[in-house]
Protein backbone atom coordinates (compact mmCIF):
# COMPACT_ATOMS: atom_id res chain seq x y z
CA UNK A 1 0.00 0.00 0.00
CA UNK A 2 1.36 3.38 -0.87
CA UNK A 3 -0.02 6.45 0.73
CA UNK A 4 1.04 9.95 -0.13
CA UNK A 5 -1.79 11.80 1.53
CA UNK A 6 -0.84 13.25 4.87
CA UNK A 7 -3.15 11.71 7.41
CA UNK A 8 -1.91 12.23 10.97
CA UNK A 9 -1.79 9.23 13.27
CA UNK A 10 -0.32 8.89 16.76
CA UNK A 11 1.23 5.86 18.37
CA UNK A 12 1.60 6.14 22.14
CA UNK A 13 4.12 3.87 23.80
CA UNK A 14 3.84 3.99 27.56
CA UNK A 15 6.91 2.99 29.54
CA UNK A 16 5.10 1.65 32.59
CA UNK A 17 6.65 1.75 36.04
CA UNK A 18 8.69 4.97 36.00
CA UNK A 19 11.67 5.05 33.64
CA UNK A 20 14.98 6.22 35.13
CA UNK A 21 15.49 9.47 33.15
CA UNK A 22 18.89 10.17 34.77
CA UNK A 23 20.07 6.80 33.51
CA UNK A 24 18.47 7.05 30.05
CA UNK A 25 19.51 10.48 28.80
CA UNK A 26 22.74 10.81 30.71
CA UNK A 27 24.71 14.02 31.44
CA UNK A 28 27.86 11.99 31.06
CA UNK A 29 30.34 14.83 31.67
CA UNK A 30 28.70 15.82 34.93
CA UNK A 31 30.53 14.45 37.99
CA UNK A 32 27.20 14.58 39.87
CA UNK A 33 25.99 11.66 37.75
CA UNK A 34 28.86 9.46 38.91
CA UNK A 35 28.69 10.79 42.49
CA UNK A 36 24.99 10.08 42.83
CA UNK A 37 25.14 6.76 41.12
CA UNK A 38 27.86 4.80 42.89
CA UNK A 39 26.20 1.50 41.88
CA UNK A 40 23.45 2.06 39.34
CA UNK A 41 25.15 3.80 36.46
CA UNK A 42 26.43 3.20 33.00
CA UNK A 43 30.17 3.64 32.57
CA UNK A 44 31.41 6.52 30.50
CA UNK A 45 32.79 4.29 27.76
CA UNK A 46 29.45 2.46 27.34
CA UNK A 47 27.27 5.56 27.06
CA UNK A 48 26.42 6.59 23.48
CA UNK A 49 27.42 10.26 23.23
CA UNK A 50 24.89 12.49 21.52
CA UNK A 51 26.59 15.82 22.13
CA UNK A 52 29.26 17.16 24.48
CA UNK A 53 26.92 17.10 27.40
CA UNK A 54 24.45 14.26 26.92
CA UNK A 55 24.46 10.65 25.86
CA UNK A 56 21.96 7.81 25.54
CA UNK A 57 22.25 4.71 27.68
CA UNK A 58 24.06 1.82 25.95
CA UNK A 59 21.18 -0.21 24.50
CA UNK A 60 19.52 2.75 22.77
CA UNK A 61 21.66 2.38 19.64
CA UNK A 62 18.71 2.00 17.23
CA UNK A 63 17.09 5.13 18.66
CA UNK A 64 20.41 6.99 18.40
CA UNK A 65 20.46 6.09 14.67
CA UNK A 66 17.03 7.66 14.23
CA UNK A 67 18.15 10.63 16.31
CA UNK A 68 21.06 11.13 13.89
CA UNK A 69 18.56 11.11 11.03
CA UNK A 70 16.78 13.97 12.78
CA UNK A 71 13.66 11.96 13.65
CA UNK A 72 13.82 11.94 17.44
CA UNK A 73 12.88 14.81 19.75
CA UNK A 74 13.81 14.40 23.40
CA UNK A 75 11.85 16.47 25.90
CA UNK A 76 13.76 17.22 29.08
CA UNK A 77 12.39 17.57 32.58
CA UNK A 78 8.82 16.60 31.78
CA UNK A 79 6.32 16.12 34.60
CA UNK A 80 4.19 18.25 36.88
CA UNK A 81 4.53 19.95 40.25
CA UNK A 82 4.31 17.98 43.52
CA UNK A 83 4.75 14.47 42.20
CA UNK A 84 2.89 12.05 44.49
CA UNK A 85 5.52 9.41 43.65
CA UNK A 86 2.75 6.82 43.49
CA UNK A 87 2.49 4.79 40.26
CA UNK A 88 -1.24 4.61 40.47
CA UNK A 89 -1.86 8.28 41.07
CA UNK A 90 0.86 9.48 38.77
CA UNK A 91 -0.27 7.33 35.86
CA UNK A 92 -3.80 8.59 36.47
CA UNK A 93 -2.55 12.18 36.24
CA UNK A 94 -0.73 11.53 32.99
CA UNK A 95 -3.76 9.74 31.59
CA UNK A 96 -6.42 12.24 32.62
CA UNK A 97 -4.47 15.55 32.70
CA UNK A 98 -5.91 16.18 36.17
CA UNK A 99 -3.13 16.69 38.73
CA UNK A 100 -5.44 18.11 41.39
CA UNK A 101 -8.40 15.75 41.34
CA UNK A 102 -9.29 12.31 40.13
CA UNK A 103 -10.24 12.62 36.49
CA UNK A 104 -12.70 10.36 34.75
CA UNK A 105 -11.74 10.93 31.13
CA UNK A 106 -8.52 10.02 29.38
CA UNK A 107 -6.80 12.54 27.11
CA UNK A 108 -6.40 10.13 24.19
CA UNK A 109 -10.04 9.12 24.51
CA UNK A 110 -11.00 12.78 24.22
CA UNK A 111 -8.90 13.05 21.07
CA UNK A 112 -10.80 10.06 19.69
CA UNK A 113 -14.11 11.71 20.56
CA UNK A 114 -13.10 14.94 18.77
CA UNK A 115 -11.91 13.03 15.72
CA UNK A 116 -15.05 10.95 15.47
CA UNK A 117 -17.85 12.66 17.39
CA UNK A 118 -20.59 10.56 15.77
CA UNK A 119 -18.82 7.29 16.45
CA UNK A 120 -18.70 6.44 12.79
CA UNK A 121 -15.60 4.32 13.22
CA UNK A 122 -15.33 2.05 16.25
CA UNK A 123 -11.67 1.58 15.48
CA UNK A 124 -10.64 5.23 15.78
CA UNK A 125 -8.60 4.32 18.86
CA UNK A 126 -7.17 0.90 19.68
CA UNK A 127 -5.19 -0.35 22.63
CA UNK A 128 -2.83 -3.20 21.84
CA UNK A 129 -2.62 -5.26 24.99
CA UNK A 130 -4.94 -6.67 27.64
CA UNK A 131 -7.39 -4.28 29.23
CA UNK A 132 -7.68 -0.58 28.63
CA UNK A 133 -5.41 2.23 29.82
CA UNK A 134 -7.29 5.07 31.43
CA UNK A 135 -5.82 7.45 28.83
CA UNK A 136 -8.28 5.93 26.35
CA UNK A 137 -11.26 5.64 28.68
CA UNK A 138 -14.01 8.14 27.98
CA UNK A 139 -17.58 7.01 28.59
CA UNK A 140 -19.27 6.41 25.27
CA UNK A 141 -16.14 6.56 23.16
CA UNK A 142 -15.50 3.23 21.47
CA UNK A 143 -12.03 1.86 22.00
CA UNK A 144 -10.98 -1.60 20.96
CA UNK A 145 -8.50 -3.59 23.01
CA UNK A 146 -6.65 -6.14 20.95
CA UNK A 147 -4.39 -8.47 22.89
CA UNK A 148 -3.70 -10.62 19.87
CA UNK A 149 -4.84 -9.62 16.42
CA UNK A 150 -4.97 -13.20 15.13
CA UNK A 151 -7.81 -14.37 17.47
CA UNK A 152 -10.19 -11.40 17.58
CA UNK A 153 -13.99 -12.06 17.07
CA UNK A 154 -17.44 -12.58 18.76
CA UNK A 155 -19.24 -15.92 19.40
CA UNK A 156 -16.62 -17.55 17.20
CA UNK A 157 -17.54 -20.90 18.78
CA UNK A 158 -20.93 -21.19 17.03
CA UNK A 159 -19.93 -23.36 14.10
CA UNK A 160 -23.15 -23.24 12.10
CA UNK A 161 -22.95 -20.09 9.95
CA UNK A 162 -26.72 -19.55 9.88
CA UNK A 163 -27.05 -19.94 13.66
CA UNK A 164 -24.10 -17.63 14.24
CA UNK A 165 -25.56 -15.00 12.01
CA UNK A 166 -28.90 -15.21 13.89
CA UNK A 167 -27.05 -15.04 17.20
CA UNK A 168 -25.13 -11.97 16.06
CA UNK A 169 -28.38 -10.33 14.91
CA UNK A 170 -29.89 -10.90 18.32
CA UNK A 171 -26.71 -9.65 19.97
CA UNK A 172 -26.83 -6.42 18.01
CA UNK A 173 -30.48 -5.96 19.01
CA UNK A 174 -29.76 -6.61 22.69
CA UNK A 175 -26.88 -4.14 22.66
CA UNK A 176 -28.64 -1.38 20.74
CA UNK A 177 -28.94 1.88 22.67
CA UNK A 178 -31.94 2.54 24.92
CA UNK A 179 -33.53 5.78 26.02
CA UNK A 180 -33.10 6.70 29.65
CA UNK A 181 -30.77 3.80 30.50
CA UNK A 182 -28.29 3.99 33.35
CA UNK A 183 -24.70 5.03 32.72
CA UNK A 184 -23.48 1.49 33.40
CA UNK A 185 -26.03 -0.06 31.08
CA UNK A 186 -25.30 2.46 28.32
CA UNK A 187 -21.59 1.81 28.65
CA UNK A 188 -22.06 -1.96 28.41
CA UNK A 189 -24.33 -1.67 25.39
CA UNK A 190 -22.07 0.64 23.46
CA UNK A 191 -19.02 -1.47 24.31
CA UNK A 192 -20.75 -4.61 23.09
CA UNK A 193 -21.85 -2.98 19.86
CA UNK A 194 -18.38 -1.60 19.26
CA UNK A 195 -16.83 -4.98 19.96
CA UNK A 196 -19.00 -6.71 17.40
CA UNK A 197 -18.55 -4.12 14.68
CA UNK A 198 -14.81 -3.71 15.35
CA UNK A 199 -14.14 -7.43 15.31
CA UNK A 200 -15.86 -7.71 11.98
CA UNK A 201 -13.76 -5.01 10.41
CA UNK A 202 -10.37 -5.70 11.91
CA UNK A 203 -10.16 -9.32 10.81
CA UNK A 204 -9.06 -8.19 7.36
CA UNK A 205 -5.85 -6.61 8.66
CA UNK A 206 -3.51 -9.62 8.73
CA UNK A 207 -4.64 -10.64 5.23
CA UNK A 208 -3.89 -7.25 3.78
CA UNK A 209 -0.42 -6.97 5.30
CA UNK A 210 2.91 -8.00 3.92
CA UNK A 211 6.31 -6.75 4.92
CA UNK A 212 9.97 -7.58 4.60
CA UNK A 213 10.78 -6.18 8.01
CA UNK A 214 11.54 -8.75 10.67
CA UNK A 215 10.40 -7.72 14.10
CA UNK A 216 12.36 -8.95 17.11
CA UNK A 217 10.72 -11.45 19.45
CA UNK A 218 9.50 -9.36 22.38
CA UNK A 219 6.02 -8.41 23.59
CA UNK A 220 6.44 -4.79 22.55
CA UNK A 221 7.67 -5.80 19.09
CA UNK A 222 4.59 -8.05 18.66
CA UNK A 223 2.28 -5.19 19.63
CA UNK A 224 4.01 -2.75 17.28
CA UNK A 225 3.74 -5.31 14.49
CA UNK A 226 -0.01 -5.67 15.17
CA UNK A 227 -0.20 -1.87 15.06
CA UNK A 228 1.59 -1.83 11.71
CA UNK A 229 -0.86 -4.42 10.33
CA UNK A 230 -3.95 -2.51 11.42
CA UNK A 231 -2.49 0.77 10.23
CA UNK A 232 -1.62 -0.61 6.79
CA UNK A 233 -5.10 -2.11 6.46
CA UNK A 234 -6.38 1.46 6.30
CA UNK A 235 -9.23 1.05 8.76
CA UNK A 236 -9.21 4.66 9.83
CA UNK A 237 -7.49 4.14 13.17
CA UNK A 238 -5.88 7.39 14.35
CA UNK A 239 -4.74 6.53 17.86
CA UNK A 240 -2.71 3.43 18.60
CA UNK A 241 -1.82 2.83 22.22
CA UNK A 242 0.46 0.23 23.75
CA UNK A 243 2.82 -0.18 26.67
CA UNK A 244 5.96 -1.91 27.80
CA UNK A 245 7.47 -2.51 31.22
CA UNK A 246 7.97 -2.77 34.04
CA UNK A 247 10.41 0.10 34.45
CA UNK A 248 9.86 0.04 38.24
CA UNK A 249 13.53 -0.64 38.96
CA UNK A 250 13.79 -0.27 42.73
CA UNK A 251 16.16 -3.22 42.67
CA UNK A 252 18.12 -5.06 40.05
CA UNK A 253 18.15 -2.01 37.77
CA UNK A 254 21.61 -2.81 36.40
CA UNK A 255 20.25 -6.03 34.89
CA UNK A 256 16.70 -4.97 33.94
CA UNK A 257 17.05 -1.44 32.55
CA UNK A 258 19.32 -2.28 29.60
CA UNK A 259 17.05 -5.17 28.55
CA UNK A 260 13.92 -3.03 28.67
CA UNK A 261 15.48 -0.34 26.49
CA UNK A 262 16.98 -2.88 24.12
CA UNK A 263 13.48 -4.27 23.55
CA UNK A 264 11.96 -0.83 23.12
CA UNK A 265 14.71 0.49 20.83
CA UNK A 266 14.74 -2.53 18.56
CA UNK A 267 10.97 -2.71 18.32
CA UNK A 268 10.57 1.01 17.60
CA UNK A 269 13.31 0.83 14.99
CA UNK A 270 11.66 -2.16 13.26
CA UNK A 271 8.30 -0.39 13.29
CA UNK A 272 9.68 2.71 11.56
CA UNK A 273 11.54 0.58 9.02
CA UNK A 274 8.21 -1.06 8.28
CA UNK A 275 6.60 2.36 7.84
CA UNK A 276 9.44 3.44 5.58
CA UNK A 277 9.11 0.30 3.45
CA UNK A 278 5.42 1.12 2.97
CA UNK A 279 6.02 4.81 2.41
CA UNK A 280 3.82 5.79 5.31
CA UNK A 281 6.40 7.32 7.62
CA UNK A 282 5.20 10.85 7.07
CA UNK A 283 1.82 10.03 8.65
CA UNK A 284 3.09 8.65 11.93
CA UNK A 285 4.26 10.29 15.12
CA UNK A 286 5.17 8.12 18.07
CA UNK A 287 5.14 9.43 21.64
CA UNK A 288 7.01 7.67 24.46
CA UNK A 289 6.49 8.64 28.09
CA UNK A 290 6.69 7.27 31.61
CA UNK A 291 4.73 8.27 34.72
CA UNK A 292 7.78 9.70 36.50
CA UNK A 293 11.56 9.62 36.59
CA UNK A 294 13.47 8.12 39.46
CA UNK A 295 15.42 9.42 42.43
CA UNK A 296 18.78 11.03 41.62
CA UNK A 297 20.72 8.98 44.15
CA UNK A 298 20.62 5.23 43.73
CA UNK A 299 19.69 2.98 46.67
CA UNK A 300 22.43 0.42 46.17
CA UNK A 301 20.63 -1.87 43.75
CA UNK A 302 18.11 0.36 42.02
CA UNK A 303 16.38 3.70 42.25
CA UNK A 304 13.21 4.82 44.02
CA UNK A 305 10.28 6.81 42.67
CA UNK A 306 11.19 10.33 41.55
CA UNK A 307 9.69 13.24 39.69
CA UNK A 308 10.97 14.73 36.39
CA UNK A 309 11.36 12.44 33.40
CA UNK A 310 12.04 12.47 29.68
CA UNK A 311 9.57 11.99 26.84
CA UNK A 312 10.43 11.12 23.24
CA UNK A 313 8.62 12.15 20.09
CA UNK A 314 9.68 10.10 17.08
CA UNK A 315 8.88 10.10 13.36
CA UNK A 316 9.55 11.67 9.97
CA UNK A 317 7.35 14.69 10.75
CA UNK A 318 9.41 15.47 13.87
CA UNK A 319 12.18 18.06 14.14
CA UNK A 320 14.79 16.04 15.99
CA UNK A 321 16.92 17.31 18.85
CA UNK A 322 16.75 18.15 22.52
CA UNK A 323 13.98 20.37 23.85
CA UNK A 324 13.99 22.27 27.13
CA UNK A 325 16.67 22.05 29.74
CA UNK A 326 17.95 19.15 31.72
CA UNK A 327 16.94 19.91 35.34
CA UNK A 328 19.75 20.80 37.72
CA UNK A 329 21.41 17.90 39.46
CA UNK A 330 22.88 20.10 42.23
CA UNK A 331 21.86 18.93 45.68
CA UNK A 332 20.38 22.31 46.59
CA UNK A 333 18.13 22.27 43.51
CA UNK A 334 16.57 18.84 44.13
CA UNK A 335 13.19 18.36 45.77
CA UNK A 336 13.09 15.38 48.14
CA UNK A 337 16.13 14.10 46.30
CA UNK A 338 14.46 14.30 42.90
CA UNK A 339 14.99 16.23 39.67
CA UNK A 340 12.42 18.99 39.56
CA UNK A 341 10.15 18.98 36.51
CA UNK A 342 10.52 22.14 34.41
CA UNK A 343 8.16 21.29 31.59
CA UNK A 344 4.47 20.48 32.01
CA UNK A 345 3.48 17.19 30.38
CA UNK A 346 0.26 18.77 29.14
CA UNK A 347 2.41 21.00 26.90
CA UNK A 348 3.73 17.90 25.13
CA UNK A 349 0.18 16.60 24.60
CA UNK A 350 -0.82 20.07 23.35
CA UNK A 351 2.05 20.04 20.85
CA UNK A 352 0.98 16.70 19.46
CA UNK A 353 -2.74 17.46 19.48
CA UNK A 354 -2.48 20.92 17.87
CA UNK A 355 0.65 20.91 15.73
CA UNK A 356 0.37 17.31 14.59
CA UNK A 357 -3.30 16.33 14.77
CA UNK A 358 -4.47 19.86 13.91
CA UNK A 359 -6.99 20.05 16.74
CA UNK A 360 -7.63 22.50 19.56
CA UNK A 361 -5.68 21.18 22.55
CA UNK A 362 -7.34 23.22 25.25
CA UNK A 363 -10.38 20.97 25.85
CA UNK A 364 -8.22 17.87 25.56
CA UNK A 365 -5.69 18.81 28.26
CA UNK A 366 -7.96 21.16 30.27
CA UNK A 367 -6.09 24.42 29.73
CA UNK A 368 -3.32 26.20 27.85
CA UNK A 369 0.24 24.97 28.29
CA UNK A 370 3.42 26.02 26.47
CA UNK A 371 4.02 23.94 23.36
CA UNK A 372 7.33 22.95 21.81
CA UNK A 373 8.19 23.67 18.20
CA UNK A 374 9.04 20.11 17.32
CA UNK A 375 6.66 19.23 14.48
CA UNK A 376 7.80 20.11 10.96
CB atoms within 10 A of CB 212: 7
Q: Which H/E stretch holds residue 8?
A: none
- Interacting residue with other proteins among 2, 5, 52, 173 (CB under 8 A): 173
Question: Is 268 an interacting residue with respect to other proteins (CB under 8 A)?
Answer: no
Taking the complex as a whole, the smallest distance from the CB of residue 326 to other proteins amounts, in Å, to 25
- Interacting residue with other proteins among 150, 165, 178, 279 (CB under 8 A): 178
Question: Is 300 an interacting residue with respect to other proteins (CB under 8 A)?
Answer: yes
- Interacting residue with other proteins among 27, 46, 61, 189 (CB under 8 A): 189
CB atoms within 10 A of CB 39: 12
- Interacting residue with other proteins among 13, 54, 72, 137 (CB under 8 A): 137
Q: What is the DSSP letter of 215?
A: P
Question: Is 152 an interacting residue with respect to other proteins (CB under 8 A)?
Answer: yes
- Interacting residue with other proteins among 1, 155, 259, 331 (CB under 8 A): 155
| x-marked contacts with other proteins along 228-257 as a string, rule CB under 8 A | -----------------xx-x-xx------
In the three-class reduction of DSSP (H, G, I as helix; E, B as strand; rest coil), residue 333 is classed as: helix
Hey, which bits of 59-217 come out as E strands?
A: 72-79, 125-128, 144-146
Question: Is 97 an interacting residue with respect to other proteins (CB under 8 A)?
Answer: no
CA distance readout (Å), 292 to 16, 65, 73, 341, 344: 9, 26, 18, 10, 12
Taking the complex as a whole, the smallest distance from the CB of residue 68 to other proteins amounts, in Å, to 33
CA distance readout (Å), 366 to 107, 311, 369: 9, 20, 9
- Prior bond of 246 cis (ω within 30°): yes
Q: Which is nearer to other proteins, 185 or 362 (CB)?
A: 185
Q: Which is nearer to other proteins, 27 or 219 (CB)?
A: 219
Question: Is 146 an interacting residue with respect to other proteins (CB under 8 A)?
Answer: yes
Q: Which is nearer to other proteins, 178 or 217 (CB)?
A: 178
In the three-class reduction of DSSP (H, G, I as helix; E, B as strand; rest coil), residue 153 is classed as: coil
The answer to whether 303 and 338 are in contact (CB under 8 A) is no
Taking the complex as a whole, the smallest distance from the CB of residue 98 to other proteins amounts, in Å, to 11
Taking the complex as a whole, the smallest distance from the CB of residue 11 to other proteins amounts, in Å, to 18
Q: Which is nearer to other proteins, 11 or 122 (CB)?
A: 122
Identify the sign of the CA torsion 38, 40, 45, 50. negative
Question: Is 106 an interacting residue with respect to other proteins (CB under 8 A)?
Answer: no
φ, ψ dihedrals at 55, nearest 5°: -140, 160
296 CA to centre of own chain: 24
- Interacting residue with other proteins among 4, 5, 6, 88 (CB under 8 A): 88
| C-alpha to C-alpha distance for 154 and 163, rounded to whole angstroms | 13
| C-alpha to C-alpha distance for 356 and 245, rounded to whole angstroms | 27
CA distance readout (Å), 311 to 12, 21, 72, 293, 337: 11, 9, 10, 10, 21
Q: Give the count of residues interacting with other proteins (CB under 8 A).
A: 63
Question: Is 362 an interacting residue with respect to other proteins (CB under 8 A)?
Answer: no
- Interacting residue with other proteins among 81, 174, 259, 368 (CB under 8 A): 174
Q: Which is nearer to other proteins, 193 or 351 (CB)?
A: 193
**Which residues of the chain form contacts with other proteins (CB under 8 A)?**
16-17, 84-89, 92, 101-102, 122, 127, 130-132, 134, 137, 142-147, 152-158, 163, 166-167, 170-171, 173-175, 178, 184-185, 187-189, 191-192, 194-195, 198-199, 245-246, 248, 250-251, 299-302, 304-305, 336
Amino acid sequence: MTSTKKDPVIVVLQLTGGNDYFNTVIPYNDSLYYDNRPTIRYEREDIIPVNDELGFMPTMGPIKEMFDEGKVAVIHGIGYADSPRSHFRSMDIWHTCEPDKVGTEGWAGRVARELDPNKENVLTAINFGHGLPRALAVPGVPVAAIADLSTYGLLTGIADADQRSKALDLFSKMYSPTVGGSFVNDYLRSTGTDAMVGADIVKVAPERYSSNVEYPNSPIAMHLRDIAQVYMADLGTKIFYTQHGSFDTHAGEAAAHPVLWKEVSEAVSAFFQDMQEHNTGENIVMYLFSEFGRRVRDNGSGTDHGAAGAAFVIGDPVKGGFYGEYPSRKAEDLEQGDLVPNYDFRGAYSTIVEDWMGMDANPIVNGAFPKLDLIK
